[in-house]
Structure 1
């Protein structure tokens, strides 16, 4: 029975939560939150409280049962644990695009695929030419990545003057870029393999497939097999966050088979619910079954691959990624020690590769594909739009810092790499904004 009067605190709370929900779906906001987290980390790491930054993220968390215990740092929890959720969303996005998006067929995928590969190869070539034969050469893959959240967030700041085709091209390019980055991590930054771990991974994946065949659709049921895959990859020697990508790619693109379509079930159950309410009043036992059917059908309206994205995106955008930035962007300007030749090479190489190499690779690859009649520019996309996509692709941030942490064991080189990624991403974003304001 509806209440005749709703308490004012409840009304105000509902309005605030509704405004917060609308605010959270503005793409530019997630980029701003990510930037603020990076700035806080940078200020913290260079403040009088700099020691507390390192101490905090190196704090050990211990989980024990009897004589068995595992101890890991907060930094590990963020980079190897929470980032798995980020990669799960990325994997689901890739799966969705392969199904019915920009990667659904070669005709649609050719331009973003070629542009993305050009945007990976050119920065790697520029960096390698500058650092070949030195200790810094291990970071060749750092400038190959594009940060989806930051790039799309900056694009959103330009407003509705930017054609939708440009946004789609940038998204497709960034997704392919992530696929390449994931392959690079798996192939080039895996030192050795423990094949016993692979058996654990296979066991976890088989459990996922069994659950899917059984029609289990509730997300929490997959936490156990997901954890098994994660642990198996960790034991194997491959970065465990790749478990997220694998599970995202395995997400079904269709709702599970059923005798009745979810929308039909919702309609039928709603009428049944209304009848029972009219007959029995507020008796909870009488309406429990149709309410359960209604919740189940409501969940099945969206296929799992979309439920992953819708359900986890706010947590990733406003939780996981800001925490990652907070844990990794805290570069001590003194620790970078740019007086050393090797640190200078890393710093200059990454900045040139991201700011110059990324747009150059994207534009030249796109130009070659179009001039050779292999593909055409998408509807609504002009060459100035391709240039904008290339400029924004130079925003590396999340994935670039992630790869840097795998590439460099020397703290001084890692600090230089992180600092250069932050500087290059800022420069690329500013140039992209200026180009977008002037040309659109």
Structure 2
């Protein structure tokens, strides 16, 4: 691969990542707003997101196996086609039927397809970036992702104010079409992935979800799973926090979403100049917990925007760290499976969080739920730190007096 081809390929990859992220976030903003507006209950949003997470939990290993066994670029293209079909069907369904049943079916189908797409797309990174450039290129890919999130949050919020809700589906539909164009470019033909064999028959291990990753990634994956659950919790409660507790509008709801994306970009830019060590995942767990507790004491749209910005920084730095760990420690032909195992653990913890929201959501303010979960994160971070310090002390052994 010559220098010009490599630059063009990376540009196409970043365009695909940005377009897919924009479509993903636009669709989420649309779904969350319509469901809250129709039901006036955070529990309904939590149940809807939990249903999508259950679908991911049951099928994520199948998607990871597909990314390992088939051509990853073609897997992305097939997923884009399915996402376009889902968006078109959702637009038609919102025009003809009650919105909540339509969005439930749409969200379930979308969750499975989108997870497979993201697994396959991120598994392509070692094929287009050298080992010493993994941290930088992963950071760039997340910058592209969050730029897409930022644009999607603002454009969808404005569109929901100006036109009927169903027309908001046109934003993710357009974004997924752009993703398809970027991935279908002939520039990708220079990639030569090795070590993968075509799947001959479906095995039980390709379908049944495995709850835990193996080897040295287990501790890092568990920490990241809690940070991931924090992101799921914020996604589930942000719309209710703005609409009901802060008495905001659809445009106001788009501001915290945009702030999260802006913070994510800032965090990834920082990683371009500073490569953190793996144990700093614990510090991001503690930082996320500390910020969440602030929702109890500091309320208002402005403070919510500041808090969402800080959470975006911590959340996406943690994502880059775990991605680089996986890419450096797992063979290329096993990346899809490794990522699916970590995601299975993340979704399992996230489902527990959604269950909690569904139970206590109607009677407890969103800020209280966020603050209590923050206390849990800080407690877990402290315990992990104490255990790691004790292990280091034990490994050093007793020292002789001089």
TM-score by length of 1: 0.30
TM-score, normalization: structure 2? 0.32
- Bigger Rg, which one: 1
